[in-house]
A and B are shown apart, each in its own frame.
Chain A
């Protein structure tokens, strides 16, 4: 082994990521070659400096307790949601949605940037109304967490067209939508960019809150058991799961499902702006 080779693989060697067969060879070289050993020691020195200074940074003691307390409230939230599964028909008082609020909602919309994400979703064939919401929430979280960097330059997959053409058709189940540019335009004038990986969410960024819209080409979903509400002329169904709310409505034979962790009234208003053309 020559020095150039040894140095080239030095990081991988030190990170224990090198091919097993190479390991003893480099080790031997470092044992025999003064210069390379010196370099190895230098690298080791730098690492222990960095590690030493970072490890000395520890979380303040009270943070642990604060988090444990937080876990408790998540537990409470989850069991509360289980209780609320009881289904009721609820009408929203008209005062809640005054024209002024529409105007506010509309102005918020102006600042919205959107992204389209295609990712494989997991609707089962035998779904009930609760699992629609569960799935919607899971998809929402996957979409939001896996597609964080929305601009075209840093998006992992900038070339969504490739995915539109191939992946979608082969991977998705029957009830899964084919989302295309035309469909996206229901977002009513909001500039929507194509970015992301693989299936059927449009993700909106509403002042830092993420809302995802899923479009399901299947009007036969059993959504009628969910809590029903009306806003304007439109009828919506609402469900919640793990602190997320989903608003579901039907339009032109497709089922639309908007999910977010913002509160029910707000998400409902947002949904209403999406339906009105």
Chain B
């Protein structure tokens, strides 16, 4: 019994502190408080059952996120339409070098960056959430794991089961998409404000 108590204590010590991170991710995946709670609970129970297989010294947060993701996909696999990876990779290799050049040639970037930045001040929390939620799931998870959880590319690659190169390209494309929709929300907000 003592052995079990130790195991339990260790698990609680190192795993439970990530409950808010896991919940925050869960809610961005399922959009529903009750389901997010179930998902987080299931993740913890699964993690605890297989705590033996956790490699001590590695990042437990990443391990928990991997279990959360797997649980989510298993549960909602029918509802989630994961698109074909190949499609994205192809697009990436064709466009990656062009995008910056096109942007700067058009002159749009430098002209509007400052105004864009200022417009962000008009955003409300709900706008940001909506913009994040509207991203395709694999971009969303990459961005949340990187920008919010500050996990390394290799941890994200491990969690999402893809090569590091794919993580990078998802972050690139995802961040661009996100900025675009944030800016649109910001413009709307600014317009409404000015209109009053």
Which residues of the other chain, A, contact B85 by a CB distance below 8 angstroms? 153-154
The segment from B54-62, B170-178, B188-196 found at the interface with A is B170-178
A91 an interface residue at 8 Å Cβ cutoff?
no
List A residues 135-168 near B (Cβ within 8 Å). Answer: 138, 141, 144-146, 148-150, 153-154, 156
A64 an interface residue at 8 Å Cβ cutoff?
yes
Q: How far is the CB of B35 from chain A (nearest CB, A)?
A: 12
Q: How large is the interface on A (under 10, 10 to 19, 20 to 34, 35 or more residues)?
A: 35 or more
A8 an interface residue at 8 Å Cβ cutoff?
yes
Q: CA separation between A180 and B115, bound complex, in Å?
A: 62
What 5 new A-B contacts, CB under 8 Å, besides A47-B147, A50-B178, A63-B37?
A: A11-B168, A55-B20, A55-B148, A58-B23, A63-B41
* 6 A-B pairs (CB sep. < 8 Å): A45-B117, A50-B128, A53-B129, A67-B45, A148-B77, A149-B82
Minimum CB distance partner of A148 in chain B = B73
Given contacts A45-B120, A54-B148, contact A70 B41 (CB under 8 A): yes
B125 an interface residue at 8 Å Cβ cutoff?
yes
A67 & B16 in contact (Cβ 8 Å cutoff): yes
- Mostly, the B contact residues are helix
List A residues 25-63 near B (Cβ within 8 Å). Answer: 35, 38-39, 41-43, 45-47, 49-60, 63
Q: How far is the CB of A185 from chain B (nearest CB, A)?
A: 25
A153 & B19 in contact (Cβ 8 Å cutoff): no
Chain A interface residues toward B at CB < 8 A:
3-4, 7-8, 11-12, 15, 17, 35, 38-39, 41-43, 45-47, 49-60, 63-64, 66-68, 70-71, 74-75, 78-79, 138, 141, 144-146, 148-150, 153-154, 156, 208, 210, 242-243
Q: How far is the CB of B126 from chain A (nearest CB, A)?
A: 8
- How many A-B pairs have beta carbons closer than 8 Å: the answer is 148
Minimum CB distance partner of A49 in chain B = B128
B172 & A59 in contact (Cβ 8 Å cutoff): no
Minimum CB distance partner of A145 in chain B = B70
The 4 closest A-B CB pairs, nearest first, are A59-B23, A153-B84, A57-B24, A53-B128
A17 & B153 in contact (Cβ 8 Å cutoff): yes
A74 & B45 in contact (Cβ 8 Å cutoff): yes
Q: CA separation between A52 and B77, bound complex, in Å?
A: 29
A79 & B1 in contact (Cβ 8 Å cutoff): yes
A11 & B74 in contact (Cβ 8 Å cutoff): no
Which residues of the other chain, B, contact A243 by a CB distance below 8 angstroms? 49
* Most-contacted residue by chain A among B110, B161, B182 (CB, 10 A): B161
